[in-house]
Chains A and B, each alone.
Chain A
């Protein structure tokens, strides 16, 4: 069974450009999450989808970030326009259900460098 897959694995863009990150969750997982780790900081929650609906987007830093999950399958996270402080690793994760005892599986991350 395939795990959580993310694309691209690495991206280098100039300040002001747009980048779109894609995540394919584990098949059958309704719950999809985005996290990120900027240099030297903790891994921080960005948002949580249940199928195609945004369950919790309290961690989204500002309106330059837009996440979508059309059809409840894969998700995209767009950063427009990118700023230098957006550099870091963006992790996608998925789980079958929510709550006590449910394991969350992460992908390999998309490493974003804004120059």
Chain B
């Protein structure tokens, strides 16, 4: 069975600083994908970044980067230069390579302070 663990229920960060949101996973599948989604107060689930288990390099998308440590089964999200608009819930999710069924973590609520 697959599982995602997000150990930080809430985080604070000062505007313009970097923040790391933790995500560890458990899977026995050799092929899998890891996703991060952002859910602002409006409710929409916004796709942020994707990392495939066979990808050699860490994924990056603008201010978002994924610190993928396969041996440790961790896929931490790094947000650089935090902005007030980054305040939201952040969900880490995993899916098996052959399916599109996502398993989500419990989320981390990030608050960016001015």
Residues of A whose CB lies within 8 Å of any CB of B are 9, 31, 33, 35, 42-45, 48, 56, 59, 89, 91, 93, 95, 98-109, 111
Is B72 in contact with chain A by the CB < 8 A criterion? no
> Which residues of chain B have a CB within 8 Å of any CB of chain A?
31, 33, 35, 37, 42-47, 50, 52, 54, 91, 93, 95, 97-107
Given A42-B105, A42-B106, A100-B33, A106-B100 contact (CB < 8 Å): no
Partner of A104, one of B97, B102, B103, B107: B102
Q: Which residue of B lies closest to A41 (CB)?
A: B106
How far does the Cβ of A48 sit from chain B's closest Cβ, in whole Å? 7
A97 to B76, CA, bound (A): 26
Chain A residue with the shortest CB-CB distance to B104: A43
Give the docked Cα–Cα distance between A5 and B13 (Å): 32
Which residues does chain A contribute within 8 Å of B54, judged by CB atoms? 100
- A99–B26 Cα distance when bound, in Å, is 19
Is the CB–CB distance between B47 and A95 below 8 Å?
Answer: no
Does B45 lie within 8 Å of A45, measured CB to CB?
no
